[in-house]
Amino acid sequence: MGMVEGSASTVINRPASEVFDAVADVTRMGEWSPECTGGRWVVPATGPAVGAKFEGDNIVKIGPITLKRWTTTSEITDYAPNEVFGFVAEGYTSWRYEFRDHDGATSVTESFSHKPHEGWQKFVYGTVARRSNAMVKGMQQTLTQLKETLEH
């Protein structure tokens, strides 16, 4: 069976360097993501580089009801300034941001991929929670918030 994947894109009217720097600063992700509430570098890391690790605090809510809270540890797998920022969370889900400069504006695409769930998790995440759809919706919200922050 193939990988579970999803992506979202937007164009931000700011230079690629500014957009890249904002995304690669994992301590700021809580400003934009509906699921990630904050992040911090894991010592000895103090900033982004291949192999650097960071923790991210996450929450899933339906309306005012919190369904789940958890913290992930991620490792940066791709780091090319102004081009790509990628990491793998808990050794399972790969996240990737790709940046393209367009005459001072930047197209940014966020994507994820992971192996399919099996057994009861496949039912819960695939059928009940519709997790992949929620992840794509969350990525679009994240990019929209990022755009609003950087353009104002």
pLDDT at 138: 86
Contact (CB, 8 A) for 71 and 77 = no
CATH number at residue 18: 3.30.530.20
pLDDT at 135: 76
pLDDT at 145 over 70: yes
What residues make up the domain containing 134?
Answer: 4-151
Per-residue model confidence as pLDDT tens digits over 92-136: 899 999 999 999 999 999 999 988 767 656 555 555 555 667 778
pLDDT at 133: 74
Per-residue model confidence as pLDDT tens digits over 77-103: 999 999 999 999 999 899 999 999 999
Domain total in the chain: 1
